[in-house]
Amino acid sequence: MPPSESELAELAKLCAAGDLVAAEQACRRLLCACSDHAPTWHGLGVLQLALGQPETAVSSLKRAAQLAPGDAAICMRLGMAWQQAGRLDRAREQFAEAVRLAPHDHEARLLLAACAQELGLLDEARLQYKAALLLRPDDARAHNNLGSILEAQGETAAAIDRYREAISRDAACFEAQLNLARALVRIAPASAGPELERAVALRPDSCEARAALADWHALYGRLPEARTHYDAVLRSRPRSLAWRLCRDMLAPPVFESNQHIDAWRAQIAERLHSYRSQELTLSLEDLASTGAKPPTILAYQGRNDLPLKRLFAEVFAAALAPCVQKYRWRPRRRSGLPSVAFVATGGGDRVFLRGMAGMLNRVTPGRFSAVLLCSAATAAAARAQITNPHVEIATLPGDPQRAVELLARRAFDVIYHWEVGTTALNYALPLFRLARVQCTSWGWPVTTGMPEVDYFVSSHALEPPEAREHYSEQLVLLDQLPLCYARPQPAPAPANREDFGLRRGEHLYLCLQNPRKIHPDFDEVLAALLRCDQQARVVLVGSSRPQVAEALWRRFETSLAEVRQRVTLVARLPEPQYRGLLSQADVVLDTFHYGGGANTTYDAIAAGIPVVTWPAAFHRGRFAAAAYQCMGYTECVAATPAEYVELAVRLACDPASRRSARQAIESARDVLFDNAAAVQALEQFFAAVAHHVREAA
């Protein structure tokens, strides 16, 4: 017999009073009397969800769905239960069923869209948000969420329009206001300040809004203003390591001199030592909000980063310890092939595909199981480039907690971290020791400083004799460069110098590196080169952060005072124009201390343009020299900075020397591209460590 009105009224009274445990017990009593009453099973599932029991709620709601198969509301609740239980695939199935049953239900569309977005199915999410907006055009939340999808798909201008539309529908929509401001920071930073101020005004206690405003001030070198906003956050979060780091690790856009660099690094070391005596905490939520990690600028400064990186790792590990214990990898007996996860996060995903897709495409079946975990956008590109059916491609959540949970659940034998330290996520993940063996390599070519990372995979050609002093990891030196790089595409159409505002008749020295890599030591070389060659034109490519280029230009006012008029700074270019500019260069200049990596070095060599390089003291400044060594051609590798200038000037001024260099490069360069020997070396390394893990388990 179905529950009576008085029984339902008593149940409603318990719910209204917030006594959810008693309400759940009342539901169970009702079901003892009538076990096939779908609304009661539905109510029980809802109560179990509220009590934080998603697995139990799934059972109750599945029973309700069996009894009332056409009820869209039950499907939605069951989807929510699966979602809370961490089964997004099952949640999506239920939300899709709810949409099928009730296609005009706005909430069902939103739930399906959000779940698809979380799974990285951005096209599906985009479609569902648009459908939801057709049903309710004034939904500011849906406009905002659609904007975030568009931005993730690279359509930033369209995303900004959606954020503005959300704000026009609801002026108090904080999420849209903050998203708008952040998007503007990326593409039109000068206009972002007022929008950030509005976000802070909407929610003065928001750490995220304060941090975004602080970061905006730091972009322009206004470090006191940035610290003021971080201080406001720290008043409410005084023990938070993440927010302390944000404030204390602020750096100018460009360093003026070696003395400036040394003073800043000494200050960083002092602060890290002070953290060790404080009881600071670090949560995954704080990491997601702050992006806290060691400053990437350290790698550009031409110093041995191992002491500082060890300090950072020690401080992070101590603050994360309570969280790490929950997820740390534990040995378990496994059948089947050993598993190797390739984890690629952050802005270097595209470089990962260019340098490592060839390796994954050639993995020998049966040696180990390979899984690529990356962002949704990279996964879409990877599926087009990695055709090996034995490689699984999966989406790694951008949220640190969900990413940690996924890796802990999969329990891989080996994790290859493509980059460690370019984002908060890829810096934190290795600290959890989510596999028995962890390694990294050239994606971010500097030590992690972490005892949790076992190996740094490099090459004899890339490392100086004293290289082991630069790494906390065991250094693995392959006979090949540790990548299988796809041959770059040629320039799509002939270009000429006038296309870039440059004059014919000048000797064009092109530097393709991020302006942050242009060390004060390199200024001296540029000045010497411009004095030696009166027809020289040095062309630098700008940064995605215009303020960096502006600060560098101000430094040049002193360091290149009498020759600066023959230096041109061009904006960052789309791929076709970039290749067109490269084709016009007489010489490509490699920067000191942190030189060109695979992309710019191989692009120039593929185009037959000589790259002049001086191998520095660390891996990150030796890639071009290593490439030449593998080619068996080292005529463009200088032994000293003075020889670097001499080489560059001779190649630019003497057509015969330049022609000879081009011919030598073109005849030797094939060894660098799609290198099967490098695949074999990498595969042998991964197979050996993966099988060792299995034997030790």
- 546-553 long-range contacts, CB within 8 A, separation 24+: 546/189, 547/189, 547/219, 547/220, 547/221, 547/253, 548/253, 548/254, 548/514, 548/515, 548/516, 549/515, 550/253, 551/221, 551/252, 551/253, 551/254, 552/253, 552/254, 552/515, 552/518
What pLDDT is stored for residue 334 in this prediction? 66
| CA dist., res. 400 & res. 426, Å (int) | 9
Among 177-181, 324-328, 449-453, 560-564, the minimum mean pLDDT is found in 324-328
Confidence of residue 491 (pLDDT cuts 50, 70, 90): low
Q: What percentage of the chain exceeds 90 in pLDDT?
A: 64
Helix axes 641-653, 520-532, angle to 10 degrees: 40
pLDDT, tens digit, 9 for 90 and up, residues 493-548: 667 888 888 888 899 999 999 888 999 999 999 999 999 999 999 999 877 677 78
| CA dist., res. 82 & res. 94, Å (int) | 9
**pTM for the structure as a whole:** 0.85
What pLDDT is stored for residue 402 in this prediction? 85
What pLDDT is stored for residue 11 in this prediction? 66
Please list the alpha-helical segments (H only) found in 136-257: 140-152, 156-169, 174-187, 192-202, 207-219, 223-236, 241-248
pLDDT, tens digit, 9 for 90 and up, residues 254-269: 999 999 999 999 999 9
Three-class SS state of 178: helix
Helix axes 241-248, 306-327, angle to 10 degrees: 160
pLDDT, tens digit, 9 for 90 and up, residues 147-162: 999 988 878 899 999 9
Residue 669's CB: how many other CB atoms inside 10 A?
A: 20
pLDDT, tens digit, 9 for 90 and up, residues 163-207: 999 999 999 999 999 999 999 988 888 889 999 999 999 998 888
Check if the beta carbon of residue 215 is closer than 8 Å to that of residue 261: no
| CA dist., res. 579 & res. 494, Å (int) | 10
For tokens 């998203």, name the residue.
179
pLDDT, tens digit, 9 for 90 and up, residues 120-150: 788 999 999 999 999 999 999 999 999 999 9
pLDDT, tens digit, 9 for 90 and up, residues 22-61: 877 877 777 777 778 888 888 878 888 888 888 888 888 8
Q: Which residues contact 38 (CB under 8 A, 6 or more apart)?
A: 64, 67, 68, 71, 74
DSSP class per residue in 305-326: -HHHHHHHHHHHHHHHHHHHHH
Q: To the nearest whole number, what is the mean pLDDT of the chain? A: 90
Check if the beta carbon of residue 551 is closer than 8 Å to that of residue 252: yes
**Displacement of CA 331 from its chain's centroid (Å):** 29
Domains of the chain: residue spans and CATH: 497-673 (3.40.50.2000)
| 386 closest CA partner among 367, 368, 371, 396 | 371
Check if the beta carbon of residue 84 is closer than 8 Å to that of residue 68: no
What pLDDT is stored for residue 87 in this prediction? 83
Q: What percentage of the chain exceeds 70 in pLDDT?
A: 96
Residue 650's CB: how many other CB atoms inside 10 A?
A: 17
Residue 105 sits at the vertex; the CA angle it makes with 102 and 109, to the nearest 5 degrees, is 100
What pLDDT is stored for residue 348 in this prediction? 64
Q: Which residues contact 394 (CB under 8 A, 6 or more apart)?
A: 371, 372, 373, 379
What pLDDT is stored for residue 331 in this prediction? 64
For tokens 């996060």, name the residue.
345
Among 1-15, 111-125, 136-150, 231-245, the minimum mean pLDDT is found in 1-15
For tokens 């704080």, name the residue.
286
For residue 347, pLDDT over 70 is answered with: no
| Adjacency order of strands within the sheet including 587-589 | 567-570, 536-541, 507-511, 587-589, 611-612
pLDDT, tens digit, 9 for 90 and up, residues 641-688: 999 999 999 999 999 999 999 999 999 999 999 999 999 999 999 999
pLDDT, tens digit, 9 for 90 and up, residues 540-592: 987 767 778 888 999 999 999 999 999 998 888 888 888 889 999 999 999 99
What pLDDT is stored for residue 332 in this prediction? 64
Confidence of residue 697 (pLDDT cuts 50, 70, 90): low
Please count the residues of the chain. 697
